[in-house]
Amino acid sequence: MAIKLTPERLRRLVLEEKAKMTAKMEKKHQLDPKAKKEMYMEMDEEYPGTPPHAKKYTAGKKLETMKMMKEQEENLRNQLRRLQERRLAIRRQIISELE
């Protein structure tokens, strides 16, 4: 005898499977509190000072980035000005042709 798969039944089946998979994943990735504490202690020993990813952006790098961004801003402003001038020139040409 075949079971009819109605939308409600499919929804229920999907939710049940999702719950099973979630439970399996949580169980698989769950650490006991002692293991977590040891893991964090090992990380503290490995990186006694500032972690490497935090050292990536120092004041010098920030200043260089600011200078580069200011130059980019200037270039973009110049491009915008040139585009506006070209647009106005084309507009003037169109108006002069219509007169």
pLDDT band at 66 (very low <50, low <70, confident <90, very high): confident
Name the residue ranges covered by the structural domains of the chain. Answer: 62-99
Instruction: Say which range, 13-17, 48-52, 75-79, has the weakest mean pLDDT.
Output: 48-52
30-56 pLDDT tens trace: 666 676 666 666 655 555 566 555 555
Q: Are 56 and 64 in contact (CB under 8 A)?
A: no
Which element (helix H / strand E) includes 28?
helix 7-29
Longest dimension (CA), the chain: 87
pTM: 0.39
Residue pointed to by tokens 């801003």: 73
| Residue 80: per-residue pLDDT | 94
